[in-house]
Homo-oligomer: A and B are copies of this chain.
Amino acid sequence: MVSNPQAPTTDESSNRTVTVPLGDRSYPIRITSACICGQEGRGADVGILTDAAADVTHWVLIVDEAVSNRWATPIGKALDSIGDTVRVNVIEVPSGETSKSVESIGGIWNQMLNLGTDRRSVVVAVGGGVVGDLAGFAAATFARGVRFVQVPTTLLAMVDSSVGGKTGINLPGAKNMVGAFWQPEAVWIDTDVLATLPDRTYRSGLGEVVKYGVIDDAKFFDWLVDNADGLVRRDADALRYAIAASCESKARVVGADERETSGRRAILNYGHTFAHAIEATTGYGTWLHGEAVAIGMQMAARLAIRIGMCDADLLKRQSDLLAACQLPTTMDTADIDAMLTVMQRDKKVAHGKLRFILPSRIGHVDLVSDIDRNDVIASIEQTIGKA
- Chain A positions within 8 Å of B, measured between CB atoms, are 102, 105-106, 109-110, 113, 118, 140-145, 166, 168, 171-174, 176-181, 259-260, 347
Contact = CB atoms under 8 A, between A and B. Distances in A.
Given A102-B102, A180-B180, A171 B110 contact: yes
Copies of this protein chain in the complex: 2
Contacts of A110: 171-172
A367 to B, nearest CB: 16
Contacts of A145: 180-181, 259
Contacts of A181: 144-145
Contacts of A259: 144-145
Contact of A141 (B109, B141, B142, B172): B141
Contacts of A178: 109, 141-143
11 contacts: A106-B106, A109-B171, A110-B171, A113-B171, A141-B179, A141-B180, A143-B177, A143-B178, A143-B179, A144-B260, A145-B180
Contacts of A143: 177-179, 347
B109 A144 contact: no
The 4 closest A-B pairs by CB, nearest first: A102-B106, A144-B179, A141-B178, A113-B171
Interface hub of A141, A144, A172 (most chain B Cβ within 10 A): A144
Counting chain B CB atoms within 10 Å of each CB, the highest count among A113, A140, A177, A259 belongs to: A177
Contacts of A173: 113
A101 to B, nearest CB: 9
Given A102-B102, A144-B168, A166-B144, A109 B180 contact: no
